Structure 1
């Protein structure tokens, strides 16, 4: 079964983008200056760290990058296999993501703030979160919602400006209805980062923030099949009405 399309898919992806911002807030602010989703930043951090500048970690950045790549490979294998067998690859992928995030929370459970978190457990938590985000990128690319990758906003921001009255580039969406979707994508990432940082600032344990995101992703996975079936029924109903007309 394919994921829902149109507005339902847009809503799902916007919400998952918020979740991404929350996770990166936890990984960077509470687990030690490393991203688990925004791997462009990690590539730069790795370069800075190897050069010995900025006091940035090298080992945890490598762990995140490696786990992300592994997650992308495993996600591609799993989702393509499920799709070939006509199984529900989209909600299954979200369920696995939620399970990995829950495992990451367990790895850092009752550990307090990052300074007292043992390096080994911090590495495991970062690795599991990055593994989940690698799979998420595959899921988003397979679902193919325009301007909604759920983890990268540079392209959406560029398209938003270029396709606006300021950029006036018809090839990049000027005159279309893409601006709203692109704006939602950018705002969602900002909101997720703000929410994650705000929760940490209020004294919420990082593990609880991760669990909150895991629960949200799991709930989304539970709701997706129903949304897809409803959309299919509505599509069939509209097709019958047109046939009668």
Structure 2
């Protein structure tokens, strides 16, 4: 069973987009510089690092890519399997993502991953605890991308804003590209997608710049994903899902 299209699903995906900004704030400002959701940037970081670019870790980028790939493959298998049995794969995906992010946050907390007030010194190699958190969070984001592809909410892929921003700008009058799709509904959704990513990044960086530990900032997206999954589960299949 797939999630029912409409305002509720769009809102859920926008909330997940906001959490991406928070997650990448931790990834880039504390664990890296590295990305765990935006793997395009990560591929470039790895390419730059392999040529000897300063302050970039090929290990961090490589672990993130591998974790993302594992999460994508496992997420695809699990969600497809649940779907074939007539189950609610969207609920399973949200709960699994929340669990992975929660474990990543727990590892960050228990191992004392550097807080922003005491960051890793420039040039100091990342430790195994950093790489473990990177792998877990990247796996969660790989799973998230499978979920977003299957949910297929236009202009809200949850881990990227480039396409939404391009469509938003290309559809502006007076020379709107009609092949992209225009109109208030499209523009509101695209603007909300870009705004959610930006807001999440601001919120994550603000929390890290204050007194919040990286583990706390990761716990918040974990709690949100688990909360959304639980809400869908409690609401019942007839209200949140359709067959197909």
Asked whether the two chains share a fold, i.e. TM above 0.5, the reply is yes
Deviation for aligned residue 1:16? 0.3
Quote the Cα distance in structure 1 between the aligned partners of 2:211 and 2:236: 36
SS of alignment partner, residue 150 of structure 1: coil
> If each structure's helix is expressed as a fraction of its own residues, which one has the higher value?
1
Q: Distance in 1 between matches of 2:5 and 2:156?
A: 13
Are positions 1:123 and 2:131 aligned together?
yes
Q: Note if 1:56 corresponds to 2:56.
A: yes
Q: CA deviation at 1:70?
A: 1.1
Helix, strand or coil at the partner of 1:177: helix
Deviation digits for residues 14-55 of structure 1 (CA, Å, limit 9, x no counterpart):
000001110000111011200110111101111111111242
> How big is each residue's C-alpha offset from its partner over 1:172-202, in whole Å with a ceiling of 9 and x where there is no partner?
1134631110000000000000000000011
1:227: Cα distance to partner? 6.8
Find the counterpart in structure 2 of residue 219 from structure 1: 227
Does the 8 Å contact 1:8/1:227 carry over to 2? no
Question: Matched residues in 2 for 1:34 and 1:179: separation?
Answer: 31
For 1:137 and 1:232, locate their aligned partners in 2 and report how far apart those are by CA, in whole Å.
Answer: 19
Which one has the largest radius of gyration? 1
Is contact 1:165-1:174 (8 Å) kept? no
Deviation at 1:88, TM superposition (A): 1.1
What's the C-alpha RMSD, in Å, of the aligned pairs?
1.8
2:173 alignment counterpart: 165
Range 220-229 or range 4-13, more displaced: 220-229
Q: Is the 8 A contact 1:161 1:167 kept in 2?
A: no
Distance 1:67 1:167, change over 3 A: farther
> Normalised by the size of structure 2, how large is the TM-score?
0.90
TM-score by length of 1: 0.90
CA contact (8 A) 1:4 1:227 kept: no
1:3/1:224 contact within 8 Å kept: no
Q: Which moved more, 1:129-138 or 1:167-176?
A: 167-176
Structure with higher RCO (Cα < 8 A, 6+ apart): 2
Determine the structure 1 residue equivalent to 2:239. Answer: 230
| Aligned match for 1:199, one of 195, 207, 219 | 207
CA shift digits 1:196-240 (9 cap, x unpaired): 00000112000011111101110000112417533579xxxxxxx
The equivalent position to 2:148 in structure 1, one of 140, 156, 159, is 140
